[in-house]
Amino acid sequence: AQKSQSCRVMCTLVLSSIHSDVILFTSLGSSSLVQRSSHICHAAGWRLCCIEQSSCCDIEISRSYMPKPIGQLAKEIGLISEEVELYGQTKAKVLLSALKRLKDKPDGKYVVVTGITPTPLGEGKSTTTMGLAQALGAHLHQNVFACVRQPSQGPTFGIKGGAAGGGYSQVIPMEEFNLHLTGDIHAITAASNLVAAAIDARIFHELTQTDQALYTRLVPLINGIRQFSDIQIRRLQKLGIRKMEPTTLTEEEMHKFVRLDIDPTTITWQRVLDTNDRFLRSITIGQSPTEKGFSRTAQFDITVASEIMAVLALTDGLEDMRRRLGRMVVASSKTGEPVTTDDLGVTGALTVLMKDAIKPNLMQTLEGTPVFVHAGPFANIAHGNSSVLADKIALKLVGQEGFVVTEAGFGADIGMEKFFNIKCRYSGLQPHVVVLVATVRALKMHGGGPTVSAGVPLPKEYTEENLQLLANGCSNLSKQIQNARIFGIPVVVAVNVFKTDTEAELDLVAQMAKEAGAFNAVKCTHWAEGGKGALALAQAVQRASQAPSHFKFLYNVELPVMDKIRIIAQQIYGADDIELFPEAEQKIILYTKQGFGNLPICMAKTHLSLSHDPERKGVPKGFVLPIRDVRASVGAGFLYPLIGTMSTMPGLPTRPCFYDIDLDPVTEEVNGLF
């Protein structure tokens, strides 16, 4: 009361204790009450913090903290005002000029957070990322950045809910993080759909016009003069035509220039929408009479599964992004030649649509640790990691002794493998430490425990001590440790503690992790305690970052495509061999002929098992990995083999999360998000 000019609001909360500059309370009241109280405390130099962890949901915890003004945070971490574009008080975009200014500054330590093979129970990978970053920054006083992906609207309104971390280790404000952010996903949606529209429009116009009519329209008279645009000059050069004057083209050259001659059956580019809409998985387009009967079967993908999202995550600058956007292959011609977005003439427009999305988004954790939230590629059909640019800028900002904690999607066999073989290959960055997240209850499932569903009470096997079941499941932990060590990087296991875990169970996991070759294995309580609960993990990561490491890629990209696929299947998944379906074999031949055989491999398989069968837990043995098809993301820079059926448009469950989401019209607070 002495600190604050207005204590009437605070008096309605039940105070627990006051120490240092923190007020602890044990009764939340309404979330609007907490937020008003937080503003009062912040103005008075105090921090308001709830200690009823068991009764607080993530959104209430998020609202109980007052974030620093984002401009202040940007200044504290070493950004200058010209490098920051504010989006309100809680988020900002960081310009790429920051990377140019800091180019001579040494990089900090690079830490990737991954996990065991995930289960429906959730292992807390994002929460661990935030807890570790808070421990390094707020408690060990190191310069630190966390780098994570932007969540898709699909899971947010579908089955998962928010993805900001959880408990006392999360990104705030949670609503801003999960809803729209700064519009990057919307920009990707617009760009992807522009390409799709260009493809079908070009097919239509080529089918309904002569060469001369096409040429007249593609190179129109402007003030009495015909002139090629820059992108048309690039197409002429690709065709081997060295003429700059439109009137000098021969009829044969004109024909080659105007006819992309797209084979509709080879179109790989789909329209996108950032909503789970299962009825768009297969559609018929061109039904209007104005399309003169030129209809075809197509589909929608969810936006985060688009190649433009993967391009955003892997690019290292505007010029590189334009090149990648231009070389995206959308189809083949009837003679088997790849047709690119550059051929369609749309590359410059895509770059314009993406010019702001390329800038990383700056936010913060509950404890004021800076976070870059940028890009959100799927971890099955794409590489499932946040952007190279965010990591690069963060590594410069933290300095040589600082840490950047970046998260890889799904388990170590998917997100981590792609982080090393794809993301690190393109970025040139070398990681120092792998943090492998595991939970007792998930390991019990891998040991043969009963099936569980989210929201359903757990069987007793998961709430009571069962050392044998746990020991059996630790085989998955051991395999994922081995997978990380294949790349020559030390592994620290983070055992994410739940209240039902016993000390004997936690000790067993730590013991078996060390026996499997982990540098260390520590218990973490960051959900309940924030950075303090990940202090032992942070100290272990510090020590591991100073240990000798010998980073290496799993394969040489010059190897034949089939050999690269086999290496991943055998060494990472534990398969006996691979089996190529006829379509996959034909695609490998085609892509090799088209000059794409030297691209890295991005395996598209279930995340729920090391094998292709999601029901096979633990460490499956004696299986052959079936390769159903192979597709190319040439702009992003990888080939992705499809193992089994891989959906790129999720569906809504019977009771989606949106049943609980609403807006308070008085306070304008978002309720029910998580």
Average model confidence (pLDDT) across the chain: 90
Domain-by-domain residue ranges, the chain? 42-82+106-182+357-451+459-545, 185-354, 561-642
- pLDDT in the model for residue 39: 53
SS3 523: strand
Q: Is the pLDDT of residue 34 over 60?
A: no
Known catalytic residue: 128? no
- Average pLDDT estimate for 217-234: 94
- Average pLDDT estimate for 260-285: 95
Q: Which of 114, 69, 32 is nearest to 407 (CA)?
A: 114
47 vs 111, residue with greater confidence: 111
CB neighbours (10 Å) of residue 615?
Answer: 10
Structure confidence by residue, pLDDT tens digits, 63-78: 788 899 999 999 999 9
Catalytic residue among 90, 117, 127, 369: 127
Contact in structure between 493 and 113 (CB atoms under 8 Å): no
Q: Is the pLDDT of residue 27 over 80?
A: no
Q: Which of 115, 168, 652, 130 is nearest to 410 (CA)?
A: 115
- Average pLDDT estimate for 174-199: 94
- Average pLDDT estimate for 197-215: 97
- pLDDT in the model for residue 52: 41
Confidence grade of residue 283 (pLDDT, cut at 50, 70, 90) = very high
Confidence grade of residue 5 (pLDDT, cut at 50, 70, 90) = very low
What tokens does 530 get? Answer: 């924030």
Contact in structure between 531 and 139 (CB atoms under 8 Å): yes
Known catalytic residue: 269? no
Task: State the helix-helix crossing angle for 582-593 and 561-568, rounded to 10 degrees.
Answer: 130
The fold of 42-82+106-182+357-451+459-545 is: Rossmann fold (3.40.50)
Task: Give the CA distances from residue 296 to residues 200, 395, 433, 519, in Å, rounded to whole numbers and listed in that order.
Answer: 10, 47, 49, 55
Catalytic residue among 68, 160, 281, 628: 160
Burial of 225 (0-12, 13-18, 19+ CB in 10 A): exposed
Confidence grade of residue 29 (pLDDT, cut at 50, 70, 90) = very low
- pLDDT in the model for residue 657: 77
Distance CA 375, CA 122 (A): 22
- pLDDT in the model for residue 13: 42
Confidence grade of residue 37 (pLDDT, cut at 50, 70, 90) = low
Catalytic residue among 146, 163, 310, 379: 379
Catalytic residue among 410, 519, 623, 638: 410
What tokens does 155 get? Answer: 């899971």
Confidence grade of residue 41 (pLDDT, cut at 50, 70, 90) = low
- Range of lowest pLDDT (20-29, 154-163, 199-208, 465-474): 20-29
- Range of lowest pLDDT (24-38, 79-93, 203-217, 579-593): 24-38
Structure confidence by residue, pLDDT tens digits, 633-662: 999 999 999 997 778 888 887 778 788 788
Domain 561-642 is found in CATH 3.10.410.10: yes
Q: Is the pLDDT of residue 174 over 90?
A: no
Structure confidence by residue, pLDDT tens digits, 6-17: 333 343 344 433
- pLDDT in the model for residue 48: 56
Catalytic residue among 91, 149, 324, 523: 149
Structure confidence by residue, pLDDT tens digits, 415-461: 999 999 999 999 999 999 999 999 999 999 999 999 887 668 889 99
Q: Is the pLDDT of residue 321 over 90?
A: yes
262 vs 666, residue with greater confidence: 262
Structure confidence by residue, pLDDT tens digits, 325-360: 999 999 999 999 999 999 999 999 999 999 999 999
- pLDDT in the model for residue 133: 98
Sign of the four-CA dihedral 299, 303, 304, 306? positive
- pLDDT in the model for residue 12: 39
Distance CA 605, CA 418 (A): 12
659 vs 198, residue with greater confidence: 198
With 0.85 as the threshold, say if the pTM is over it: yes
- Average pLDDT estimate for 259-284: 95
Known catalytic residue: 202? no
Catalytic residue among 145, 228, 498, 638: 498
Known catalytic residue: 127? yes
Catalytic residue among 63, 93, 109, 125: 125
- pLDDT in the model for residue 241: 96
- Average pLDDT estimate for 507-516: 98
205 vs 379, residue with greater confidence: 205
What tokens does 305 get? Answer: 């599964």
Domain 185-354 is found in CATH 3.30.2010.10: no
Known catalytic residue: 410? yes
Distance CA 609, CA 40 (A): 49
Tell me the residue type at 195.
V
Structure confidence by residue, pLDDT tens digits, 564-611: 999 999 999 999 999 999 999 999 999 999 999 999 999 999 999 999
Contact in structure between 612 and 606 (CB atoms under 8 Å): yes
Number of H helices, E strands in the chain: 27, 29
- Average pLDDT estimate for 546-550: 92
Tell me the residue type at 458.
L
Catalytic residue among 228, 527, 638, 674: 527
Structure confidence by residue, pLDDT tens digits, 42-58: 555 555 555 444 445 77
